[in-house]
Structure 1
Amino acid sequence: MNGVWVRATAATTAAVLLVTTGGGDASAVPGEDPADYGVIGGFGLGDPYFPHAGNGGYDVQHYDVDLTYSGRKGGEVDAAVTVNARAAQSLSAFSLDFRGPAISSVTVEGRPARHERDGQELMIIPPRMIPAGQTFTAVVRYAGRPGPMPDGPLGTYGWIPTRDGAVVLSQPDGAPTWLPVNDHPSDKATYSFRITVPKGLRAVANGRPGRVVRRGGRTTYEWAEDSPMASYLATVAIGRFRMRRGRAGRIPVITAVDPKFRGSAERVHRTTIKAVRWAEKMFGRYPFATAGAVVDDPQLDYALETQERPVYAGFVPSEEFIVHELAHQWFGNSVSVRNWRDIWLNEGFATYAEWLWRERGERGGRHRGTAEQVFRRYYRMPGDSSVFRPPPGVPGRKDMFGFSVYTRGAMCLHALRRRVGDRAFFAILREWARTHRDGSATTPEFVRLSERISGRDLDGLFRAWLYGKGKPRRW
């Protein structure tokens, strides 16, 4: 990780040192005087689409989120976020990603720490150098009104106020609207939540439910995500939800539905149970402690595969929609992308799960269409259509959720299935989920795994389907 030059202000002069392993170069900022700069290590993890996201100087182990929602008009919150991390190098300063409300205080190892904000960067200067390899704790307190993050082609996401509360949908970089965080999918961590709301509201988050404490007209809900989770998958949903609880085999299923959609609550819950059982047969053991869904009221008309409990924002999902978001629990959540350019590893896989559901689901079969039939129907589309453009392996930032990433990505998997046969293909999917469980991975790793299991040279196939312009003709 190379150093990044950052202008030294009165608060950081003489306190900011070179803390990267790769060093820095004054020429990185043409036309500026190097004497005006200190060096902060690892601003940004080098993601091709979000170069400023994350920090390479440390690895977060756990986030503890203690958040109180006032319930007053405007949705004010008061929060304390504790970040437990391990220093990857000696740190005289480090940054978190944060775009949220005004900060009340920052401490490191229990002592006050100086801090500054510049765009999404919250720079923290601890009172003492943190040695490489040492674990440390930082606590960031803030108060105010978090809000959404509108981003043109990527839509609106982050902390979203709702009619009776709020809901968090953070893909790809919306977590900093409410959470001081190392905001990159390659730095996964466990989470605990304590969400306090006024009487009459409920709070739902990722993972296992814990204690519910009622005191003085307020209720505190505790949740714990014990499996490593990418920051964009963390969610909090606050509202007057109707709750459903059940099981998919050994897996508890918890579904929260806004009263607006209460007539569909049981169907969403039962379909989720059915889809979890089916997906375990396809992809292997379910990777998390619980499953479920949140159906809330903001009129965003999209869903997000928030870990263990996908959120459907403003609509009641169909069977295929539920299957798609649950497939992400294996492909995207348990196995996360190491950089956002490889987003097809999430969306292509989840879309192909929909095709498999039509083919092999409880009501699947010829009357619903096989994956081969779906593939052929899309392949008949013109080469300049959105099915094929842009190539899903390099979609570019503005098209990272474009139709081709989903559809041509799924077609790539079906082309692989055609080439290697069903036995090898489903072995590849299960081994991918097993090998990289709780971690992150890349497209080259998937290609190598596919070649190892199938015993075939597949470079041409993946090049044609992921990186070639227009409709693939030969592969």
Structure 2
Amino acid sequence: MMCAPTGEGTPMTRMRAASLALALTAALALAACGSDDEPESDGDPTASATPTSSAPTTSTTTPSAGGKYAAAVSETREDSVYPDIGDPLVDALHYDLGLAWDPAKDQLTAHQTLTFRATGDSPTIPLDFNEQLAISELTVDGEPADHEVDGTHLTIDHPIEADQRYELALTYAGTPEPAPAPSTRQDFTQGVGWSITDEHETWTLQEPYGAFTWYAVNDQPADKAFYDFTLTSPAPMSGVANGQLTKSTEEGGTSTNTWHLAEPASSYLVTVAFGDFQHTDLTSSSGVPIQVWTDADGDPLPGGTDTAPAAVDWLEKILGPYPFDSLGILVVDNDSGMETQTMITLGDSDYSLSPAVVVHEAAHHWYGDTVTPADWSDVWMNEGMAMYLQGMWEAEQEGVTIAQKMDEWAGFEVQLREGAGPPAAFDPKQFGDGNIYYGPALMWQELRERIGDDKFFAMLREWPASQENGNADRQEYWDWIERTTGEELSDFFDDWLLGEETPPR
């Protein structure tokens, strides 16, 4: 998610980059008020190596195996924090999005095809959508279907049966508007979802939700799907999205880019932007292709974006091979940042473009993207580990120990917890606050000291590798850690993640 609250090079999260910066700044302000190489100073990262909460509502059928989109079959659920967004009846498998942007009218014209699996029997199909967009045509398996949009809910009058697959096609147009964000963070003030700049360019950030502002979607993190994009705009504008650019044409003053995302993603990890972009190709030492997309009139590698290959190199030493086939950085006109899958979205600010934020957002591709929380109450699983890895990186750059870095962060973590709640039971109106970053980061350091570097770094590598393209909730994660480390950690996790007070260190 975005970057976390930080001061001079610390926090971040998946609306990732900018958020982290803003969050950290807030945190420090609060504090003022009251390859197989090993990292040089942090042990051997290449060595091998029970909470109480309301249970989320899961899908009514066990996901079936096989089929064209087998890797996207998900165990859907109703979100415990934001239950009004998403519906466990729908298991999205593939989104094919044809999007045309007209900057002269600030209008999006779109044709979408959604292939999905029904997880139960229902007389209607429920999806999330934006009432700002007018649907001109909608079919299910080629047959017209009546539908209604009420607020953020699209209800389609067509029966579905458990474990059957359907193809929904719709054509729509309008001017998308951001949705209010459930957050007090400064970088959320424009809302979530589709945003339009003063120059009539566009960008999207949608954590914990907001994809519904520009396409019909099951907007909940447990539901992963494949994506293909065809993005059309007047040249010299072009469209950028997740995955790899498979075709780019310019004809008759119109630019068309097609993008393919080879592995399934949650809707909050999807990005689309239209603008006048240039791009630069880079490569990590292990051969990961990296593209940086930024303003055509500016620096081709602004801020710390040129450090992306080094960030991947550093993270691979700790976490193992990068889990996707490509990586990109998309620089847009905002104040935040996000670990959007394979195409990190960074705001055009000093903090968002800093090397620390690049490390943080890249780290999310292991913790957050390849393995994703099934419920928003477990966003700490993403942010805490990305924050801890960022802390390790910062400590190396500053020539201090990770313990010293954690002591620095502990100075303001108490106030963050008091202000927004425990990391795994946060205030739903304060999404993305510093409490989900710093407390879990401190917890990981405590666990590392308790079990030793060998077990700790083995655990860090094995969890995302074992959950490739999957989702997990806290109980699954905690049980896995206990099995992997041989430690009984129920009280430890309860105290750090659900406790009203910060545990003593």
What's the TM-score, normalizing by structure 1?
0.85
SS class of match (1:457)? coil
Match of 2:168 among 122, 138, 156: 138
Structure 1 letter corresponding to 2:445: H
- Structure 1 residues 61 and 268, CA gap change in structure 2 (3 angstroms): same
Residue aligning to 1:197: 233
Cα distance in 1, alignment partners of residues 176 and 170 from structure 2: 15
* Residues 289, 326 of structure 2: 8 Å contact kept: yes
SS class of match (2:121)? coil
Q: In terms of mean alpha carbon deviation, does 329-338 or 385-394 score higher?
A: 385-394
Give how far 1:259 is off.
4.3
Q: Where does the alignment leave 5 or more consecutive residues of structure 1 unmatched? A: 1-19, 23-43
Match of 1:119 among 135, 146, 151: 151
Give how far 1:398 is off.
1.8
SS class of match (2:416)? coil
Match of 1:358 among 385, 388, 394: 394
* Residues 284, 433 of structure 1: 8 Å contact kept: no
Whether 2:106 is the aligned partner of 1:69: answer no
- Structure 1 residues 314 and 190, CA gap change in structure 2 (3 angstroms): same
Residue aligning to 1:439: 470
SS class of match (1:102)? strand
Residue aligning to 1:257: 294
Match of 1:59 among 91, 111, 124: 91
Cα distance in 2, alignment partners of residues 197 and 181 from structure 1: 23
Q: In terms of mean alpha carbon deviation, does 456-465 or 229-238 score higher?
A: 456-465
* Residues 62, 84 of structure 1: 8 Å contact kept: yes
Residue aligning to 2:461: 430
Give how far 1:381 is off.
4.5
* Residues 183, 431 of structure 2: 8 Å contact kept: no
Alpha-carbon displacement from aligned partner over 1:84-132 (angstroms, at most 9, x marks no partner):
0122233431111001411111101111111011221101123xx4433
- Structure 1 residues 387 and 133, CA gap change in structure 2 (3 angstroms): closer
Give how far 1:471 is off.
2.4
Whether 2:504 is the aligned partner of 1:473: answer yes
Structure 1 letter corresponding to 2:458: A
Alpha-carbon displacement from aligned partner over 1:397-436 (angstroms, at most 9, x marks no partner):
1233111111111111111111111111111111111111
Residue aligning to 1:399: 430
Query: Within 5 A, what are the aligned runs for 1:142-157?
Result: 142-151=172-181, 153=183, 155=188, 156-157=191-192
Alpha-carbon displacement from aligned partner over 1:303-358 (angstroms, at most 9, x marks no partner):
11111111112314111111111111111111111100111001111111111212
Give how far 1:267 is off.
5.3
Cα distance in 2, alignment partners of residues 441 and 152 from structure 1: 23
Structure 2 letter corresponding to 1:416: L
Structure 1 letter corresponding to 2:295: D
Q: In terms of mean alpha carbon deviation, does 265-274 or 79-88 score higher?
A: 265-274
* Residues 98, 178 of structure 1: 8 Å contact kept: yes
Give how far 1:190 is off.
0.5
Q: In terms of mean alpha carbon deviation, does 461-470 or 147-156 score higher?
A: 147-156
Whether 2:277 is the aligned partner of 1:246: answer no
Structure 1 letter corresponding to 2:339: E
Match of 1:159 among 172, 194, 205: 194
Cα distance in 2, alignment partners of residues 353 and 404 from structure 1: 16
Residue aligning to 2:403: 372
Give how far 1:396 is off.
2.2
* Residues 45, 51 of structure 1: 8 Å contact kept: no
SS class of match (2:382)? helix
Match of 1:334 among 366, 370, 384: 370
Structure 2 letter corresponding to 1:314: D
* Residues 295, 315 of structure 1: 8 Å contact kept: no
Cα distance in 1, alignment partners of residues 143 and 477 from structure 2: 45
* Residues 182, 430 of structure 2: 8 Å contact kept: no
Cα distance in 2, alignment partners of residues 199 and 382 from structure 1: 48
Residue aligning to 1:275: 311
Cα distance in 2, alignment partners of residues 282 and 415 from structure 1: 18
* Residues 381, 387 of structure 1: 8 Å contact kept: no
Cα distance in 1, alignment partners of residues 382 and 493 from structure 2: 16
* Residues 69, 78 of structure 1: 8 Å contact kept: yes
Cα distance in 1, alignment partners of residues 333 and 316 from structure 2: 30
* Residues 115, 125 of structure 1: 8 Å contact kept: yes
* Residues 280, 300 of structure 2: 8 Å contact kept: no
Alpha-carbon displacement from aligned partner over 1:370-415 (angstroms, at most 9, x marks no partner):
22111122334484x1256521111121233111111111111111
Q: In terms of mean alpha carbon deviation, does 240-249 or 75-84 score higher?
A: 240-249
SS class of match (2:133)? coil
- Structure 1 residues 68 and 77, CA gap change in structure 2 (3 angstroms): same
Match of 2:121 among 68, 71, 90: 90
Whether 2:49 is the aligned partner of 1:49: answer no
SS class of match (1:460)? helix
Structure 1 letter corresponding to 2:247: R
Whether 2:255 is the aligned partner of 1:225: answer no
Residue aligning to 2:204: 168
What's the TM-score, normalizing by structure 2?
0.80
- Structure 1 residues 382 and 68, CA gap change in structure 2 (3 angstroms): closer
Give how far 1:21 is off.
5.7
Alpha-carbon displacement from aligned partner over 1:127-173 (angstroms, at most 9, x marks no partner):
xx443322210012111111212336252221010224100111111
Structure 2 letter corresponding to 1:115: H
Cα distance in 2, alignment partners of residues 256 and 404 from structure 1: 32
Cα distance in 2, alignment partners of residues 382 and 123 from structure 1: 43
Residue aligning to 1:103: 135
- Structure 1 residues 178 and 256, CA gap change in structure 2 (3 angstroms): same
Alpha-carbon displacement from aligned partner over 1:49-106 (angstroms, at most 9, x marks no partner):
2112212223111000001111214x10110111001222334311110014111111
Cα distance in 1, alignment partners of residues 115 and 229 from structure 2: 14
Match of 2:338 among 300, 304, 308: 304
Superposition RMSD on alpha carbons, in Å?
A: 2.0
Identity %: 35
Cα distance in 2, alignment partners of residues 351 and 21 from structure 1: 35
SS class of match (1:310)? strand
- Structure 1 residues 131 and 454, CA gap change in structure 2 (3 angstroms): closer
Residue aligning to 2:13: none
Give how far 1:45 is off.
3.9
